[in-house]
């Protein structure tokens, strides 16, 4: 029996949950395993399956030194079941069961709600791998290629995490859902993934970095909320997933930052001060800042949709039931039940954006979204610092939360990035100033040429300041031909 | 709340669209979330309130009369990612008990009208379910002859009322599950407790839907199935529809005045009197009926009577007594009946007969005391005599009235009373009335063609009591006053028990169980108490249930 910290690598499935002693779940996972490998080969990274990739693998789940780095062929990656260590005597921290011992089994009355939370969370994990499967062909460096694959294998592991919970706690129904997670396909007309943003293409590396900045940060917020769960196995699972998710956002934010740095450097070198002189900037082979702004507009708005309706019964139910808390619930100082509280929500009333106080329980999606916006704003500031340091007069900004929305209050209106409501005609007229155009896509597509020489980088992105695992600049992170 | 109006027109729809393409029409649900009849109530995810259902009833009716060429109607959603989330729960949480009961009843009547269109008028319904289809949404789909469900691994059908709301899918949902779709009872039990519903192959295996179709083949398959259903229809090829023109209706004071129907209200006596006027003229032939269109008396009268009954149900809940009267020339009513009988095969005449059937059914299902007064000058003949047989009691004037030179009151029967207008139990009102004495139906049939004055009508069992001039005023007054003094609840319950003798049909079971079980739940604290499921829905708070089983 493992001690819950170290990972048991003896069996087919590495784990710290005592899988060897749990024949039923082990059998279910072993039955699921070949389908997963098939999925990975079929819908995971296109090519590179035999390459040796310098990946980190979890060997224990404590905060220090949980990962070890080494060269791995991706299909042989040690995907497994890793939960953060159990907290002795953990109690439910919020909702109507606040103060009760955390559940170690699924309470019957919350079966449907929990299952839905797990399936939706689970569906996003393989989806992003599918969305990113063609990016290997155009990686701007071996460093970036390795980061892509690290993100991919960890999203794969997050799928394992959700599948474990489904199979262990939801019987035949859970096994069926676990199979379905392998059958849905991002962007497929017949079997799409469940959430809209996960059916959008990730066609180029700027999109990838934006996705990992914004959409993976939504993932972080959702995991933070689920890490508070009174259903202890879910809480422990999500706490460990969060340690992995942090790297994904690092990849995104630093990736965009490196693109900005390279653009500013090239502009300065060529004596271009006007960021809006797009033609001149693009002739330098770098990505103009206004296009980066348009990509921010797109990915930010798509990601906000993932938070769902501002006023949500499901979110209220899940909180009251003690299944999904708020961002860092344990650090908040209110009564953690919210029965008499209100929360301000931006709403569209009679054609105007107004702030309304609504019962706090029903505004939990809005609250998590606000926390997300705060969180993501720090990244924008850091990007702007890069521009400011170069001396170029340009500032990136988050668009208004009502901009380009398909879900929630603002889906009924056309709102520009500054928050002004537009009629359909003005929207159409100015759309190309707000969102990436087909021409932008063509430009990026042409720019994306693979660079596979150790230590070399494509001309549109700066090298990182330090290597992964402190490796030197010319380290061969991916050995494509062994 | 403002007066609820059941008259509408596609030009004014907020929630539905009708798109006709030859023999197939799309009936598209695209609810405007901001247009609930309950101010401030948001109709999210194609959820519906009475306003949405009023438009649906109008659309179903218009498709039948205005579009003889339409042989298949495809029920579908105009919203991406959702078919219909069912009745809006916040609306139900806010609505009075009476409104909920009347809303569900009306919704059921519309759903039965959809099935009537498929079964009897050759306009066959297909439900094309793409996106989640929950509660009343699935009940609506289940009215269609066939249900196609998109198999996008997300879309499911569900009846989550029990786990989510502590009420039933009681607007026909449970009954259609077992009686129409013949779902096994234990699977139905499982289905009704699965909040997430059932999708894909299993939905077909359990007979919840007829076919699942992947998105890539969706549009083509829906079109093909619609064409197949349309091919089974007997509706005419080259006929022209008639426009259901706006009712001529005036609200004056408390009453309502239509062209052929008048509603007068005596608020102190808690009584509404509906007076139906017979036709002033009757077309000579079938062509004349088509030329008259919506002005043809049986059609115009039925639409007006239907509107009047709905008005009283929803807007005048305290008027417990409805007195039914008529005036006019019985010969002309019988002449109209002759046309309806002679041209029963014509599509328009068929629609008119079916509308008459549904209108009288609506009266049967109205929870008010119905008292027919048959007086000199009345024209309770044939079709209109159904009002007498629908009534809880019929009182007839015997002989002539002093100072009135009109002949004595008489009832007239026609063949219309013996087949055209069955009740929801599948029997005619006369068959139901004479359940214990079938010979009486034959005796009545033999009396077709005779003017049946009070003595004959009493002998044939067609009326309850007769008063002569001396007793009439007091007799009627005392009866009505006494009736008004009884408990309105007890009257509703007693009348509903006595009206529907004889066999059960799916329709009687739907209405009976709605009345017995759903309306019971709608009164129980577990659903509607301050801590009940309907009241707490959306707040995030879990309902508190009284554990006692009743």
Interchain pair B214, A180: CB under 8 A = no
DSSP reduced 3-state for A178: helix
Closest Cα of chain B to A317: distance in Å? 4
Give the pair of three-digit tokens for residue A105.
């089994």
Is the dihedral angle over the CA atoms B131, B132, B137, B140 positive or is it negative?
positive
Q: Please, is B326 exposed, middle or buried when counting C-beta atoms within 10 Å of its C-beta (0-12, 13-18, 19+)?
A: buried
Interchain pair B153, A191: CB under 8 A = yes
Q: Which residues of A touch B130 (CB under 8 A)?
A: none
CB nearest A362 (choices: B151, B194, B538) = B538
Q: Which residues of B touch A366 (CB under 8 A)?
A: none
Closest Cα of chain B to A331: distance in Å? 22
- Parallel, antiparallel, or unpaired for β B465-468 and B393-398? parallel
- Assess if residue B183 is contained within a domain: yes
Given a contact cutoff of 8 angstroms between Cβ atoms, the answer to whether A181 and A118 are in contact is no
Q: What is the DSSP letter of B247?
A: P
**What is the C-alpha to C-alpha distance for residues A226 and B547, in angstroms, rounded to an integer?**
31
Tens digit of pLDDT for each residue in B220-279?
999 999 999 999 999 998 899 999 999 999 998 889 999 999 999 999 999 999 999 999
- Assess if residue B385 is contained within a domain: yes
Q: Which whole number is the average pLDDT over A240-268?
A: 94
- For chain B, say whether A41 makes contact (Cβ under 8 Å): no
From B457, B479, B497, the end of a domain falls on: B497
The interaxial angle of helices A364-390 and A232-270, nearest 10 deg, is 30
- Assess if residue B295 is contained within a domain: yes
Judged by CB atoms within 8 Å, which residues 68-97 of A form the interface with B? 96
Tell me: do B202 and B282 sit in the same domain.
Answer: no
* pLDDT for residue A217: 94
Given a contact cutoff of 8 angstroms between Cβ atoms, the answer to whether B363 and B390 are in contact is yes
- Assess if residue B541 is contained within a domain: no
Tell me: do B296 and B184 sit in the same domain.
Answer: no
* pLDDT for residue B81: 86
Residue of A194, A313, A326, A407 to mutate, testing the B interface (most B Cβ within 10 Å of its Cβ): A313
DSSP reduced 3-state for B103: helix
- For chain A, say whether B220 makes contact (Cβ under 8 Å): no
DSSP reduced 3-state for A336: coil
Tell me: do B359 and B422 sit in the same domain.
Answer: yes
Judged by CB atoms within 8 Å, which residues 29-48 of B form the interface with A? 44
* pLDDT for residue A4: 59
Q: Which residues of A touch B541 (CB under 8 A)?
A: 96, 316, 320, 339, 361
Point out which residues pair with A73 in neighbouring strands.
A52
**What is the C-alpha to C-alpha distance for residues B408 and B399, in angstroms, rounded to an integer?**
5
Q: What is the DSSP letter of B448?
A: T
Nearest to B389 by CA among B329, B330, B446, B444: B444
Nearest to A297 by CA among A367, A215, A385, A397: A397
Closest residue on chain A to B193 (Cα): A112
Q: Which residues of B touch A309 (CB under 8 A)?
A: 44
**What is the C-alpha to C-alpha distance for residues B347 and B359, in angstroms, rounded to an integer?**
18
* A366: Cα within 13 Å, side-chain hemisphere: 25
Closest residue on chain A to B131 (Cα): A194
Tell me: do B317 and B387 sit in the same domain.
Answer: yes
Closest residue on chain B to A412 (Cα): B33
Give the pair of three-digit tokens for residue B118.
């498929």
Which helix (H) or strand (E) covers residue B370, if one does?
Answer: strand B369-374
Residue of B540, B541, B543, B544 to mutate, testing the A interface (most A Cβ within 10 Å of its Cβ): B540
Tens digit of pLDDT for each residue in B291-327?
999 999 999 999 999 999 999 999 999 999 999 999 9
Q: Which residues of A touch B152 (CB under 8 A)?
A: 190-192
* Proportion of chain B above pLDDT 90, given as a percent: 87
CB nearest A96 (choices: B194, B195, B542) = B542
Given a contact cutoff of 8 angstroms between Cβ atoms, the answer to whether A395 and A417 are in contact is no
Closest residue on chain A to B538 (Cα): A313
**What is the C-alpha to C-alpha distance for residues A276 and A292, in angstroms, rounded to an integer?**
12
Interchain pair B538, A313: CB under 8 A = yes
Closest residue on chain B to A361 (Cα): B540
Interchain pair B538, A319: CB under 8 A = no
Closest residue on chain B to A317 (Cα): B540
- Assess if residue B545 is contained within a domain: no
Task: Please tell me the least confidently modeled range out of A65-74, B127-136, B238-247, B502-511.
Answer: A65-74
Tens digit of pLDDT for each residue in B376-435?
999 999 999 999 999 999 999 999 888 888 999 999 999 999 999 999 999 999 999 999
What are the φ/ψ torsions at residue B252 (nearest 5 degrees)?
A: -125, 125
Interchain pair B216, A316: CB under 8 A = no
Q: What is the DSSP letter of A87?
A: P
Nearest to A248 by CA among A201, A293, A215: A215
Given a contact cutoff of 8 angstroms between Cβ atoms, the answer to whether B538 and A316 are in contact is yes
- Assess if residue B517 is contained within a domain: no
Given a contact cutoff of 8 angstroms between Cβ atoms, the answer to whether A326 and A316 are in contact is no
The length of chain B is: 550
Average pLDDT taken over every residue of chain A:
92
Residue of A190, A199, A359 to mutate, testing the B interface (most B Cβ within 10 Å of its Cβ): A190
- For chain B, say whether A328 makes contact (Cβ under 8 Å): no
Tens digit of pLDDT for each residue in A401-453?
999 999 888 988 999 999 999 999 999 999 999 999 999 999 999 999 999 99
Give the pair of three-digit tokens for residue B183.
């779902």
The CA-based angle B259-B260-B265, given to 5 degrees, is: 95
Tens digit of pLDDT for each residue in B75-104?
999 998 899 999 998 888 888 989 999 999
A480 — pLDDT class (breaks 50, 70, 90): confident
**What is the C-alpha to C-alpha distance for residues A188 and A126, in angstroms, rounded to an integer?**
13
Nearest to B138 by CA among B129, B126, B125, B146: B129
Q: Which residues of B touch A339 (CB under 8 A)?
A: 541
CB nearest A320 (choices: B196, B214, B540) = B540
Tell me: do B266 and B151 sit in the same domain.
Answer: no
**What is the C-alpha to C-alpha distance for residues A415 and A436, in angstroms, rounded to an integer?**
16
Neighbours of B293 (CB within 10 A): 18
- For chain A, say whether B6 makes contact (Cβ under 8 Å): no
Tell me: do B156 and B266 sit in the same domain.
Answer: no
- For chain B, say whether A317 makes contact (Cβ under 8 Å): yes
From B497, B519, B538, the end of a domain falls on: B497
Q: What is the DSSP letter of B517?
A: I
- For chain B, say whether A176 makes contact (Cβ under 8 Å): no
Given a contact cutoff of 8 angstroms between Cβ atoms, the answer to whether B359 and B302 are in contact is yes
Total structural domains within chain B? 2
DSSP reduced 3-state for A181: helix
B508 — pLDDT class (breaks 50, 70, 90): very high
**What is the C-alpha to C-alpha distance for residues B506 and B84, in angstroms, rounded to an integer?**
24
- For chain A, say whether B194 makes contact (Cβ under 8 Å): yes
**What is the C-alpha to C-alpha distance for residues B332 and B281, in angstroms, rounded to an integer?**
7
Neighbours of A247 (CB within 10 A): 18
Tens digit of pLDDT for each residue in A372-409?
999 999 999 999 999 999 999 999 999 999 999 998 88
- Assess if residue B210 is contained within a domain: yes
- For chain B, say whether A189 makes contact (Cβ under 8 Å): yes
The length of chain A is: 482
Closest residue on chain A to B33 (Cα): A412
Radius of gyration from C-alpha coordinates of chain B: 24
B117 — pLDDT class (breaks 50, 70, 90): very high
Interchain pair A192, B152: CB under 8 A = yes
Tell me: do B227 and B328 sit in the same domain.
Answer: no
Which helix (H) or strand (E) covers residue B124, if one does?
Answer: strand B124-129
* pLDDT for residue A2: 42
Whether A3 shows a pLDDT value over 60: the answer reads no
Interchain pair B541, A116: CB under 8 A = no
Tell me: do B188 and B264 sit in the same domain.
Answer: no
Interchain pair B539, A184: CB under 8 A = no
CATH number of the domain to which B89 belongs = 3.90.226.10
- Assess if residue B520 is contained within a domain: no
* Proportion of chain A above pLDDT 90, given as a percent: 79
Interchain pair B153, A184: CB under 8 A = yes
Domains and CATH numbers, chain A: 19-479 (1.10.620.20)
Q: Which residues of B touch A319 (CB under 8 A)?
A: 540
* A160: Cα within 13 Å, side-chain hemisphere: 28
Judged by CB atoms within 8 Å, which residues 105-144 of A form the interface with B? 112-113, 115-116
B56 — pLDDT class (breaks 50, 70, 90): very high
B186 — pLDDT class (breaks 50, 70, 90): very high
Q: Which residues of A touch B153 (CB under 8 A)?
A: 180, 183-184, 191-192
**What is the C-alpha to C-alpha distance for residues A66 and A77, in angstroms, rounded to an integer?**
16
Judged by CB atoms within 8 Å, which residues 511-540 of B form the interface with A? 537-540
Q: Which residues of B touch A183 (CB under 8 A)?
A: 153
* Proportion of chain A above pLDDT 70, given as a percent: 97
Interchain pair A190, B541: CB under 8 A = no
Which helix (H) or strand (E) covers residue A297, if one does?
Answer: helix A289-305
Whether A481 shows a pLDDT value over 70: the answer reads yes
Give the pair of three-digit tokens for residue B252.
């004056």
Q: Which whole number is the average pLDDT over A305-323?
A: 93
Q: Which residues contact B2 (CB under 8 A, 6 or more apart)?
A: none
- For chain A, say whether B246 makes contact (Cβ under 8 Å): no
Domain that holds residue B197: 10-231
Give the pair of three-digit tokens for residue A393.
């007069």
Closest Cα of chain A to B549: distance in Å? 19
Tens digit of pLDDT for each residue in A458-477?
999 999 999 999 999 899 99
- pTM beyond 0.90, yes or no: no
* pLDDT for residue A58: 80
- For chain A, say whether B542 makes contact (Cβ under 8 Å): yes
**What is the C-alpha to C-alpha distance for residues A475 and A468, in angstroms, rounded to an integer?**
9
Q: Which residues contact A444 (CB under 8 A, 6 or more apart)?
A: A203, A204, A206, A207, A287, A291
Neighbours of B98 (CB within 10 A): 14
* pLDDT for residue B361: 98
Tell me: do B469 and B403 sit in the same domain.
Answer: yes
Whether A231 shows a pLDDT value over 80: the answer reads yes
Task: Say what the alpha-carbon torsion angle B359, B364, B370, B373 is, to the nearest 10 degrees.
Answer: 60
Tell me: do B259 and B165 sit in the same domain.
Answer: no
Q: Which residues contact A479 (CB under 8 A, 6 or more apart)?
A: A51, A52, A53, A71
Tell me: do B111 and B20 sit in the same domain.
Answer: yes
Helix residue ranges, H only, A99-141 = 111-131
In 3-state terms chain B splits into helix, strand, coil percentages (rounded to 5) of 45, 15, 40
Give the pair of three-digit tokens for residue B462.
């067609």
CB nearest A316 (choices: B151, B195, B540) = B540
Q: What is the ipTM of this complex?
A: 0.78
Closest residue on chain B to A319 (Cα): B540
Tell me: do B143 and B186 sit in the same domain.
Answer: yes
Interchain pair A316, B153: CB under 8 A = no
Average pLDDT taken over every residue of chain B:
95
């Amino acid at each position: 029996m493992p001690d819950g910290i170290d990972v048991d690598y003896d069996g087919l499935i590495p784990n710290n949950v005592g899988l060897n002693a749990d024949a039923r779940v082990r059998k279910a996972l072993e039955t699921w395993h070949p389908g997963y490998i098939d999925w990975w080969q079929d819908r995971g990274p296109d090519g590179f399956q035999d390459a040796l990739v310098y990946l980190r693998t979890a060997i224990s789940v404590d905060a220090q030194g949980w990962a070890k780095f080494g060269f791995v062929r991706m299909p042989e990656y040690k995907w497994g079941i890793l939960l953060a260590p159990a907290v002795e005597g953990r109690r439910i921290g919020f909702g109507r069961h606040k103060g009760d011992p955390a559940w170690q089994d699924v309470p019957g009355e919350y079966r449907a709600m929990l299952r839905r939370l797990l399936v939706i969370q689970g569906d996003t994990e393989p989806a992003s791998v599918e969305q990113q499967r063609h990016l290997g062909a155009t990686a701007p460096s071996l460093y970036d290629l390795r980061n892509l694959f690290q993100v991919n294998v960890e999203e794969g592991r997050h799928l394992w995490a959700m599948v474990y919970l489904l199979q262990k706690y939801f019987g035949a129904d859970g096994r069926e859902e676990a199979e379905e997670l392998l059958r849905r396909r991002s962007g497929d007309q017949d079997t799409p993934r469940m959430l809209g943003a996960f059916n959008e293409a990730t066609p180029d590396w700027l999109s990838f970095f934006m996705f990992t900045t914004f959409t993976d940060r939504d993932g972080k917020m959702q995991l933070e909320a689920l890490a508070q769960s009174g259903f202890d196995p879910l809480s422990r699972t999500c706490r460990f997933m969060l340690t992995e998710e942090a790297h994904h956002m690092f990849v995104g934010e630093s990736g965009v930052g490196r693109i900005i740095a390279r653009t500013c450097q090239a502009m300065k070198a060529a004596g271009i001060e006007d960021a809006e002189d797009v033609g001149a900037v693009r002739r330098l082979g770098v990505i103009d800042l206004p296009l980066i702004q348009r990509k921010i507009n797109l990915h930010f708005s798509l990601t906000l949709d993932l938070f769902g309706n501002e006023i949500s019964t499901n979110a209220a139910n899940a909180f009251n039931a003690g299944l999904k808390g708020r961002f860092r619930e344990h650090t908040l100082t209110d009564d953690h039940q919210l029965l008499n509280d209100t929360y301000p929500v931006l709403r569209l009333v009679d054609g105007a954006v107004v702030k309304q106080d609504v019962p706090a329980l029903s505004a939990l999606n809005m609250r998590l979204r606000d926390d997300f916006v705060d969180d993501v704003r720090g990244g924008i500031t850091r990007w702007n610092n890069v521009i400011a340091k170069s001396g170029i007069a340009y500032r990136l900004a988050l668009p208004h939360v009502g901009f380009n929305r398909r879900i929630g209050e603002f889906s009924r209106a056309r709102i520009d990035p500054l928050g002004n409501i537009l009629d359909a005609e003005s929207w159409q007229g100015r759309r190309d100033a707000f969102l990436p155009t087909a021409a932008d896509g063509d430009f990026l597509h042409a720019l994306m040429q693979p660079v596979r020489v150790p230590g070399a980088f494509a001309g549109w992105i700066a090298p990182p300041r330090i290597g992964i695992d402190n490796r030197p600049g010319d380290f061969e992170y991916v050995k494509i031909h062994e | 709340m403002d007066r609820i109006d059941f008259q509408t027109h596609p030009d004014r729809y907020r929630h539905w669209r009708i798109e006709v393409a030859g023999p197939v029409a799309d009936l598209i649900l695209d609810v405007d979330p901001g247009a609930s009849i309950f101010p401030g109530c948001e109709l999210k995810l194609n959820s519906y309130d009475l306003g949405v259902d009023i438009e649906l009833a109008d659309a179903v009716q218009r498709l039948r009369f205005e579009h003889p060429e339409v042989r298949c109607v495809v029920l579908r959603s105009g919203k991406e990612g959702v078919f219909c989330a069912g009745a809006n729960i916040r609306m139900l949480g806010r609505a009075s008990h009476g409104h909920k009961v009347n809303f569900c009843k009306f919704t059921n009547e519309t759903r039965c009208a959809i099935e009537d269109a498929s079964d009897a008028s050759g306009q066959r319904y297909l439900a094309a379910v793409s996106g989640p289809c929950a509660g009343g949404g699935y009940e609506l789909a289940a009215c269609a002859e066939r249900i196609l469900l998109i198999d996008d691994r997300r879309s499911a059908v569900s009846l989550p009322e029990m786990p989510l709301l502590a009420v039933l899918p009681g607007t026909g949902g449970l009954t259609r599950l077992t009686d129409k779709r013949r779902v096994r009872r234990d699977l139905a039990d499982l289905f009704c407790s699965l909040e997430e519903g059932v999708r894909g192959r299993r939905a077909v295996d359990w007979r919840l839907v007829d076919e699942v179709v992947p998105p890539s083949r969706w549009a083509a398959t829906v079109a093909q199935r619609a064409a197949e259903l349309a091919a089974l229809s007997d509706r005419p090829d080259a006929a022209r529809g008639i426009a259901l023109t706006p009712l001529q209706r005036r609200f004056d004071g408390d009453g309502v005045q239509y062209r052929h129907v008048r509603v007068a209200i005596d608020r102190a006596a808690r009584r509404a009197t509906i007076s139906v006027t017979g036709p002033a003229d009757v077309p000579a032939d079938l062509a004349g009926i088509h030329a008259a269109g919506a002005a043809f008396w049986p059609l115009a009268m039925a639409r007006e009577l239907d509107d009047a009954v709905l008005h009283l149900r929803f807007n005048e809940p305290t008027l417990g007594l409805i007195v039914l009267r008529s005036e006019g020339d019985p010969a002309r009513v019988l002449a109209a009946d002759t046309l309806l009988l002679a041209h029963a095969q014509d599509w328009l005449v068929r629609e008119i007969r079916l509308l008459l059937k549904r209108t009288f059914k609506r009266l049967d299902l109205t929870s008010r005391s119905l008292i027919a007064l048959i007086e000199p000058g009345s024209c309770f003949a044939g079709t209109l005599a159904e009002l007498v047989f629908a009534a809880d009691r019929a009182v007839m004037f015997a002989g002539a009235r002093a100072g009135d030179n009109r002949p004595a009151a008489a009832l007239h029967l026609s063949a219309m009373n013996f087949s055209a207008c069955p009740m929801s139990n599948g029997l005619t009102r006369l068959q139901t009335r004479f359940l214990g004495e079938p010979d009486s139906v034959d005796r009545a049939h033999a009396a077709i063609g005779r003017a049946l004055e009070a003595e004959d009508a009493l002998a044939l069992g067609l009326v309850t009591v007769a008063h002569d001039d001396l007793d009439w005023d007091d007799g009627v007054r005392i009866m009505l006053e006494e009736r008004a003094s009884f408990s309105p609840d007890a009257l509703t319950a007693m009348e509903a028990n006595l009206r529907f003798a004889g066999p059960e049909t799916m329709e009687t079971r739907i209405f009976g169980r709605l009345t017995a079980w759903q309306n019971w739940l709608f009164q129980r604290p577990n659903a509607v108490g301050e801590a009940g499921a309907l009241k707490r829905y959306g707040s995030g708070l879990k309902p508190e249930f009284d554990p006692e089983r009743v």
